[in-house]
Structure 1
Amino acid sequence: MTRLVALNSEHHRELRIDTGKIERQGANLRMVPVMPGEFLKLAIDYPIVLTKNAETGQFVCVALFGFADGENLYWQDGRWDSLYTPLNIARQPFFVGSGDDGQPMVCVDAHSPCACSEGAGERLFDEDGKATAYLQKIQGMLAQLLDGEKQSAEFVQQLQQLELIIPMHLEVTFADGKAQRVEGLYTVDEKKLQALAGEPLQQLHVSGDLARIHTMLTSLGHIYALIERRNRREATAAA
């Protein structure tokens, strides 16, 4: 069970992070929220799509890892098999919290298997209680995620205003003949996008959202690579 606590240089002076266990935290994730600033790196390996937050009903950008709940086809042989690991995986076990004054602060999951108080691992604070280079790197990631949440919300709002979001009708057939319909995913309506002109199109271009949209659409080609990953996994299991 996750237990978030505010990171403190006194209480967590000896805390270490086993970086070898970080990516394992995403081993059973079918998708993860991603930020517009990551799109170009993500598009090398992952399909980037939209889904709805189960609690708020709001659209959110995600990288798709698999077709079934709990299926991550990028987790292979105990390691993450891709060129880029999404920020929401790489920043584990750290999160952005909010202090009494409303200001963001770094929190850590005290129950995370990545966290340890002895043995090998990256220290967060030196003997003087100052942030180590590793912690500074994590703080940078969290800052990117915090800024990215705002950018992502603005990006989605732009898509909604232009009525560009449509459901994906995704039904895949695997090498063993099994078919699976994948529900709850959305993408950009290419026909409506191509029909845009004048100020709306200029606005997308100036904001950088037009390039992000094209990156998302291009990334959908990785769905075929996901199918192949699933076929290889099933073949290995059968053997």
Structure 2
Amino acid sequence: MTGITPLSPTAHRDLRYNRHAAGAARRFTRLGLSEIAVAAADMPLCLVKDGQTGRFDLVALMSLVEPANLFVFGGGFQATYVPRAVLLGGFRLDPTGAAGLAIDPADPSLGGVGEPLFDEDRPAALSGDIAPALERLVADVAAAQEMADSWARHRLIRPLPLSLSKADGGRHDLAGLYTIDEAAVQALPDAELIALHRADRLALAAVLTASLAQVERLRQLHNARFVPAITDYSLD
């Protein structure tokens, strides 16, 4: 990714981190395994296929039609939970950078407002906390992907056609989304069902399915700020 650069006291001494501006332009974000239940309180959760590996990634939708994060307005992220990949989106792990970090200078969370990343020439306490947080996030995202792998092995994933109807008569289709195939879950042999239950795969699959009700919240947030309004949607 162009623009990523190692964090440096010479180049970034006055740089600050503003968590309230994080994720303003992000339409979706990857999630870690431990985030599923809390993120589902605000956002529809689904799966997308990695074009290079063919594996499924767990994501939270934060937008429908507009090229903006519907949860970011009024000076901050208006949700009960902010995914960690959103909060840490301006940072990368880099052993050559100060505090083991690199940054994306274009990320809206980094600029002249917020908490300082440096205390004179030394990384501030905030910077020292970010690399461990990123390491935990990477491990948590990997755990979520392993869970999606298990769903895929049992053929429990199906395409999720999401079609939006707009007040001007137009339609907008979101392609490339996947969700849990509930009929396939019900058709599993008892032994596989029990194994998935004991591995805590079924409860989280149910959370994903239930979270799709949050598409209505995204529709409401869109209609409060953008035109034309979204009048209806189909998840069939």
TM-score of the pair, normalised by structure 1:
0.79
- Judge conservation of contact 2:30–2:85 (CA < 8 Å) in 1: yes
Q: Which residue of 2 aligns with 1:3?
A: 3
In structure 2, the CA distance between the partners of 1:20 and 1:89, relative to structure 1 (3 Å rule), is closer
In structure 2, the CA distance between the partners of 1:15 and 1:207, relative to structure 1 (3 Å rule), is farther
In structure 2, the CA distance between the partners of 1:154 and 1:20, relative to structure 1 (3 Å rule), is closer
Q: Which amino acid aligns with 2:190?
A: G
Runs (5+) with no aligned partner, structure 2: 230-236
Q: Which residue of 2 aligns with 1:43?
A: 40
Identity of aligned residues (%): 29
Q: Which residue of 2 aligns with 1:232?
A: 224
Q: Which residue of 2 aligns with 1:108?
A: 103
1:152 is aligned, of 138, 141, 144, to 144
Tell me, in whole angstroms, the C-alpha distance in 2 between the residues paired with 1:225 and 1:176. Answer: 20
Once the two structures are TM-superposed, the CA of residue 15 in structure 1 deviates from its matched residue by 4.5
Once the two structures are TM-superposed, the CA of residue 161 in structure 1 deviates from its matched residue by 0.4
Once the two structures are TM-superposed, the CA of residue 136 in structure 1 deviates from its matched residue by 3.8
1:32 is aligned, of 21, 29, 33, to 29
- Judge conservation of contact 2:168–2:228 (CA < 8 Å) in 1: no
1:207 is aligned, of 177, 199, 214, to 199
1:94-105 alignment, distance < 5 Å: 94-97=91-94, 105=100
Q: Does 1:121 align with 2:114?
A: yes
Tell me, in whole angstroms, the C-alpha distance in 1 between the residues paired with 2:207 and 2:141. Answer: 18
Q: Deviations over 1:159-179 (max 9, x none)?
A: 110001100122222455543
Once the two structures are TM-superposed, the CA of residue 74 in structure 1 deviates from its matched residue by 1.9
Tell me, in whole angstroms, the C-alpha distance in 1 between the residues paired with 2:182 and 2:108. Answer: 43
Task: Report how many residues are paired.
Answer: 226
- Judge conservation of contact 1:168–1:186 (CA < 8 Å) in 2: yes
Q: Deviations over 1:142-200 (max 9, x none)?
A: 02211123202211210110001100122222455543222111000001112224332
- Judge conservation of contact 1:174–1:230 (CA < 8 Å) in 2: no
Once the two structures are TM-superposed, the CA of residue 87 in structure 1 deviates from its matched residue by 1.1
Q: Which amino acid aligns with 1:61?
A: L
- Judge conservation of contact 1:22–1:92 (CA < 8 Å) in 2: no
- Judge conservation of contact 1:16–1:124 (CA < 8 Å) in 2: yes
Once the two structures are TM-superposed, the CA of residue 59 in structure 1 deviates from its matched residue by 1.7
Q: Which residue of 2 aligns with 1:102?
A: none
TM-score of the pair, normalised by structure 2:
0.80
Q: Which amino acid aligns with 1:181?
A: D
Tell me, in whole angstroms, the C-alpha distance in 1 between the residues paired with 2:106 and 2:63. Answer: 27
- Judge conservation of contact 1:174–1:231 (CA < 8 Å) in 2: no
Partner SS state of residue 221, structure 1? helix
Once the two structures are TM-superposed, the CA of residue 64 in structure 1 deviates from its matched residue by 0.8
Q: Which residue of 2 aligns with 1:168?
A: 160
- Judge conservation of contact 1:30–1:68 (CA < 8 Å) in 2: no
Partner SS state of residue 47, structure 2? strand
- Judge conservation of contact 1:172–1:227 (CA < 8 Å) in 2: no
Q: Does 1:14 align with 2:6?
A: no
In structure 2, the CA distance between the partners of 1:11 and 1:56, relative to structure 1 (3 Å rule), is farther
- Judge conservation of contact 2:156–2:180 (CA < 8 Å) in 1: yes
Q: Which runs of 4+ in 1 moved over 6 A?
A: none
Q: Which amino acid aligns with 2:194?
A: Q
Tell me, in whole angstroms, the C-alpha distance in 2 between the residues paired with 1:202 and 1:34. Answer: 26
Q: Which residue of 1 aligns with 2:233?
A: none
Tell me whether 81-90 or 66-75 shows the greater mean CA deviation: 66-75
Tell me, in whole angstroms, the C-alpha distance in 2 between the residues paired with 1:231 and 1:86. Answer: 23
